[in-house]
Amino acid sequence: MVKPTLLVLAAGMGSRYGSLKQMDGVGPNGEAIIDYSVYDAIRAGFGKVVFVIRHSFAEDFISVFNAERFGGRIEVEYVYQELDYLPEGFTVPEGREKPWGTNHAVMMAAEAINTPFAVINADDFYGRDAFFKAAEFIRNAGENSTNYCMVGYRLGNTVTEHGSVSRGVCVTDENSFLTCITERTRIEQHPEAIYYTEDGAHITCGSHDFSVMLGDTMINTQPQKMPFLLKAALVLLYVALGLLVLRFVWLVMRQMVIIENRRRIRKRRRERMLARMQNSQQQNSGEERTYTAHHPQKKAVKNDTPQKVKYTADNRNSSAKRTYRSKK
């Protein structure tokens, strides 16, 4: 029987951790979590490991995690996940720096995997039993199986006394088929039960032996179903990019509405101003106004009494005749 492949997702940026935690040593002799995972996979019968990494740290990663490190007992291959590795017709949204995620990472390995395979995270510890259960499922599933499996863990085995954790709570039906996964944050262990916090309220998850399974998970599938996974990853990618496009269109339309409203307001203001000017001109037309002016050079009488000058309204701006009336 063909040996299954282990796909290790190791392209994370470690932004919260502060460095590439997938390469940090945690064992007594500096072993990384990847060392434990590959060692357990070899013992379970896996024949190849494919690492999903990024070009920015590829040289350092390959110099450490290579076939020689694992004693030549398993084939090693590397594939790259980069932000701009997208299907034709798609582009990276402006300002995005984080990798696309799990589905995109699995899609990057499509050409490197041609056997049944399991997917794990590089910085999660799964334990020997998880790899043996995954290998057993693959052996029993058969080449034409359409079933997949997920290795999960009991809730009581995944909490800690040193704070809260976040977990994906998995629910199964009576036939052990997965029905839903719900992410819960701030899960804490208490003597009587395990609680998670939501909107400030403490909600019981169950006892320490509660049988709901949790991620982080190991997913196993068959090689002939890789196109299905590829299609699923593309659909999710289309949805994500579609949402970004819709948000952009909404912002553009919102700005256009704002601009149009401002234009209408300015237009109404201009119309009101013109109407007031026209009304003012109509009220002033045909009126006769009397102005008092001093003309010391022209004296209608011998004394220095000021004269009243009379203008007609329709001749104010022309060389109008002026009528002087002297006070007696």
The CA-CA-CA angle for residues 186, 189, 193, to 5°, reads 115
Contact 255, 129 (CB under 8 A): no
Comparing 198-212, 252-266, 288-302, which segment has the lowest mean pLDDT? 288-302
Q: What is the mean pLDDT of residues 310-315?
A: 49
How many Å separate Cα 74 from the centre of its chain? 37
Q: Enter the CATH code of domain 5-148+222-243.
A: 3.90.550.10
Residue type, 70: F
- Summarize pLDDT for 64-86 with one digit per residue, the tens: 999 999 999 999 999 998 888 88
Residue 229 vs residue 303, higher pLDDT = 229
| Average pLDDT for the chain | 77
Q: What is the mean pLDDT of residues 198-208?
A: 60
Q: Give the number of C-alpha atoms closer than 13 A to the C-alpha of residue 154, restricted to the C-beta side.
A: 8
Q: In terms of DSSP bridges, do strands 194-198 and 178-189 run parallel, antiparallel, or are they unpaired? A: antiparallel
Residue 224 binned pLDDT confidence (cut-offs 50, 70, 90): very low
Residue 155 vs residue 269, higher pLDDT = 269
pLDDT of residue 209: 45
Phi, psi values for residue 23, rounded to 5°: -110, -5
Residue 119 vs residue 90, higher pLDDT = 119
> CA-to-CA distance for 245 and 18, rounded, in angstroms?
32
Residue closest to 113 by CA, chosen among 35, 280, 243, 227? 227
- Please return the burial class of 287, using the count of CB atoms within 10 Å of its CB with bins 0-12, 13-18 and 19+: exposed
Q: What is the mean pLDDT of residues 131-151?
A: 84
pLDDT of residue 195: 75
Enumerate the domain spans of the chain.
Answer: 5-148+222-243, 153-215, 288-325
Map residue 240 onto helix, strand or coil.
helix
Contact 52, 105 (CB under 8 A): yes
Residue with token string 């502060």:
18
pLDDT of residue 118: 92
Map residue 323 onto helix, strand or coil.
strand
Per-residue DSSP letters for 109-174?
A: TTTT--S-EEEEETT----HHHHHHHHHHHHHH-TT----EEEEEEGGGT--SSS-EEEEEEEE-T
Residue 191 has pLDDT above 90, yes or no: no
Residue 214 binned pLDDT confidence (cut-offs 50, 70, 90): very low
Contact 167, 158 (CB under 8 A): yes
- Summarize pLDDT for 281-297 with one digit per residue, the tens: 777 765 555 555 555 55
Residue 119 binned pLDDT confidence (cut-offs 50, 70, 90): very high
Query: 289: which strand partners?
Result: 311
Residue 235 vs residue 32, higher pLDDT = 32
Map residue 43 onto helix, strand or coil.
helix
164's tokens: 């809260």
Residue 161 binned pLDDT confidence (cut-offs 50, 70, 90): confident
Comparing 44-58, 89-103, 263-277, 283-297, which segment has the lowest mean pLDDT? 283-297
146's tokens: 């359409």
Residue 47 binned pLDDT confidence (cut-offs 50, 70, 90): very high
pLDDT of residue 272: 87
How many Å separate Cα 130 from the centre of its chain? 32
